[in-house]
Amino acid sequence: MQIHFTASPPAAVRLHAYIVNQGAIPSGLDAALVEGADAARFSGRAGQVFEGFASVGGTLRRIAMAGAGETGSADRAHHLERAGAALTAKYLVSGESAMVLDLSDAGLSAEEAAAVLLGLRLRAWRHDKYRTRLAAEKKPTLTEVHVAGAPEGTEAAWQREAALAEGVEFTRMLVTEPANVIYPASFVAACEKAFKGTGVEITVLGEAEMEKLGMGALLGVGQGSDRESKLLAIRWNGGAAGEKPTVFVGKGVTFDTGGISLKPPPGMEDMKWDMGGAGAVAGAMLALAGRKAKANVIGVMGLVENMPDGKAQRPGDVVTTMSGQTVEVLNTDAEGRLVLSDALHWAQEQFEPARIVDLATLTGAMIISLGNEYGGMFANDDTLADQLAAAGKASGDKLWRMPLGPAYDKLIDSPIADIKNVGPREAGSITAAQFLQRFVKNGTPWAHLDIAGMVWASKPGHTWDKGATGYGVRLLDRFVRDVVEG
């Protein structure tokens, strides 16, 4: 969706929209519209949309009002995003190709106006490339928004949010594409194309390089696939020279059959999004580079495909990680932690980060615990946990902190190796986090985000359609804005 700022909207655009604070319908509207809004019980509550028609200067106009809620609400930014998104949801396939968004009477700051536009843009994303028989009335038509009456500074604020939107959209694309399109090598290629000209440094390790480094855990997961495993690092140096970087690590299992511990067939197609953590890291890095963040940030993604094959690792195998620790693989479907163990260790050895945050669609147990409302957060540092929780609340990518502790750690001790890759049935998400903690160096602030319930939605949300949500991009971007950039 293209967003333009203008003092004089094109006269040919029929659809005109207004953002309405609760209880404050704009003055100057046709009396019939005001009366109709009252009859429809439109009050400007967040997410409400009212539509009517009026003759303006002898031309029929389609008039829409989107509610932004109360002006003093603590959730004001989210309500404004919801207002913008509600307009897109209503008119994306309406037959209208353009909209005039009149902000002159909305009483918004530049940042608030940009929040409206972010909601508009995010809700417009769809992935229809494989739908060859989509009915005409279901095809998106709304492609342009002409913003009039925007407060001073909105264009600059929108440039920052537009970069964020691009990152979210990139993540959604990576997560949505099927596994015959996005696999380790093509994931790398998509990033190389998307980041061209942004000023980032890209490092790619193939299997030969990882074998020399001793990454037996990551390589063990991918050895049953014909697709070569990769380790991808994207470095953005926008902060002070010599300042230790913040490192984000993402699980990138581009398809997860479970390996020899094969998953049941129903629902296995969903496992194309088992790379949602790596997708979020890639999208966040694109957003940071796009808005020229004043921070040193590195995204590391372990990319593998977990397949059953004569070469695949077996339950009971023992692998040696890059850290030197040995792992007894009791369940080949607990593969994400194996990928992350080597990626985490390599990231710390290579970059000596100030802090490290990993994101992974790691456990089904997290969905049982938190459903699809929160990502689970585990951390060895209270300050980092509080900062991430605040970023989650501000961005809408919500987190809920879960416990770690020695009693849980004992549950993954192996009788023949240093660690086993699964514990008992109970506390499955916690023992997975305990596994990862064993690969975090003492003194390094670390958080693990289990986002299994958040990267894919079975029904539309306020700012996304059914499917990939882009969860994690906004969280990481907000964390960098508030903590790293300060």
Spell out where 361-462 has E strands: 375-379, 399-401, 419-420, 446-450, 456-457
* Residue with token string 């299994």: 452
377 to each of 229, 450, 477, how far by Cα in Å?
27, 6, 17
292 is catalytic: no
User: Which one of the listed residues 160, 172, 251, 337 is annotated catalytic?
Assistant: 337
468: exposed, middle or buried (Cβ count in 10 Å: 0-12, 13-18, 19+): buried
Residue 348, classified by CB atoms within 10 Å of its CB into exposed (0-12), middle (13-18) or buried (19+), is buried
Residue 431 sits at the vertex; the CA angle it makes with 380 and 402, to the nearest 5 degrees, is 50
Write b or e for each residue in 195-228: b if 16 or more Cβ atoms lie within 10 A of its Cβ, otherwise e: beebebebebbebeebeebbbbbbbbbbbbbebb
- How many Cα atoms within 13 Å fall on the side-chain side of residue 19? 37
Tokens of 436: 């990862």
Residue whose C-alpha is closest to residue 470's, from 218, 50, 172: 172
Please identify which of the residues 45, 62, 263, 438 carries the catalytic annotation. Answer: 263
Amino acid at 348: Q
251 is catalytic: no
**Catalytic center residues:** 263, 337
